[in-house]
Structure 1
Amino acid sequence: MTSYKSKTIATWLALLLGSLGLHRFYLYGLGDKWAWMHPWPTLLGLYGVQRMDLIGQDDRLAWVLMPILGLMLVNATITGIVYGLNSDADWNAKHNPGQTIRPSGWAVIIAIVACVMIGGICLMSTIAFSAQRYFESQIESPAPAETPNPERPASPDKK
């Protein structure tokens, strides 16, 4: 008989450490290939945070790496929401076949609310950070100056 996989624990793991794939390790074990895909982008994003702390806001590599961390955090919170919103019957059919249904309780609802709040903050912060860096990069590299055309007369306001 396999061990019981709690929806509550999986939801909280997705919220707290989901960007590292711990919720998938909990549900599917160490052999899960998708779980091993989570830590690498998260660590790259954390490296971007460290670079921005050490080098400053002009570090363009940090501009690319930090949104990756934000997207991994958003991915983890969305996964927590999906786990938590599964019905107990559907959850048991998928993760605990042949075992009795255990009701989830309020801990799952609290985790879902926390996932929505934290996920929304992470998503909006990532969008704002990326948009700000994009527009700053556009200002730093101005468009090439217009060269005068000898065949076209100058406009009256430029005299």
Structure 2
Amino acid sequence: MSTAQDRVPYRSKTVATWLALGLGAFGVHRLYVHGLKDKLAWLHPWPSLIGLYGIHRMDTLGQDDRLAWVLMPWLGLMLSIAMLQGIVWGLTPDERWDQLRNGGRSGRASGWGAVIGVVACLMVGGACLMTTIAFSAQRYFESQAEAAKALSQ
């Protein structure tokens, strides 16, 4: 007889962490863990694509394109969110992970794969978050300086 535990597909913590690192901005990590019915996973790609469009606009139109200033931080935000999710999942104890994601069925220990994935998520996430904050602050203060210069003339 099939139990509810047997119907739950096995989800590897290591795979989830690495998916968050590689494809997290597009929500693939959430689809892997939560399945196709996860609404947040389907919302993930849109801000990321908006940010990529901002990068394309800046590449095409130059740094003075104000719309690109607004759009680009969305990609950095989504990357940072995905990296944070990868860190949290990778640091979840194996027993707790199996209880939450695998219906209590234990798999093999996650080992170094999850640890290296967490370190990579931390490096990429920190870099994305700091870059997004620095870029946004720089553009904000440049626009304030331009406004002050226009008023003084």
Q: Which residue of 81, 84, 87 corresponds with 1:81?
A: 87
Residues 107-116 or 96-105, more deviating: 96-105
Aligned identity (percent) is 61
The Cα offsets for residues 1-51 of structure 1, whole Å up to 9 and x where unpaired, read as: 232100000000011111100011101111110101100000000000000
Q: Give the letter for the 1:102 counterpart.
A: R
Structure with bigger helix share is: 2
Aligned partner of 1:31: which letter? K
> Partners in 2 of 1:34 and 1:54 — Cα distance?
31
Preserved CA contact (<8 Å) 1:89 1:101:
no
How far has the Cα of 1:101 moved from its partner? 3.6
Deviations 1:70-123 (A, max 9, x none): 010000100000000000000000000141242001010100000111111111
- Give the match for residue 126 of structure 1: 132
- How far apart are 1:140 and its partner, in Å? 1.1
- Residue in 2 that maps onto 1:114: 120
* Alpha-carbon separation, structure 2, partners of 1:60 and 1:120: 25
Distance 1:36 1:98 in 2: 27
Taking the aligned partners of 2:134 and 2:152, their CA distance within structure 1 comes to: 30
Q: Which structure's CA Rg is the greater one?
A: 1
Q: Which amino acid aligns with 1:58?
A: D
Structure 1 SS opposite 2:148: coil
Q: Tell me, yes or no, if structure 1 residue 91 matches structure 2 residue 105.
A: no
Matched, 1:28 2:62: no
Matches within 5 A, 1:133-152: 133-142=139-148, 144-145=151-152
Report the number of matched residues.
Answer: 146
Q: Unaligned stretches of 5+ in structure 2?
A: 1-5
Alignment of 1:67 onto 2:77: no
Instruction: Give the Cα separation in 1 of the matches to 2:120 and 2:152.
Output: 51
1:4 partner amino acid: Y
Deviation at 1:145, TM superposition (A): 4.4
Q: CA RMSD in A?
A: 1.3
Q: Runs (4+) of structure 1 moved beyond 4 Å?
A: none
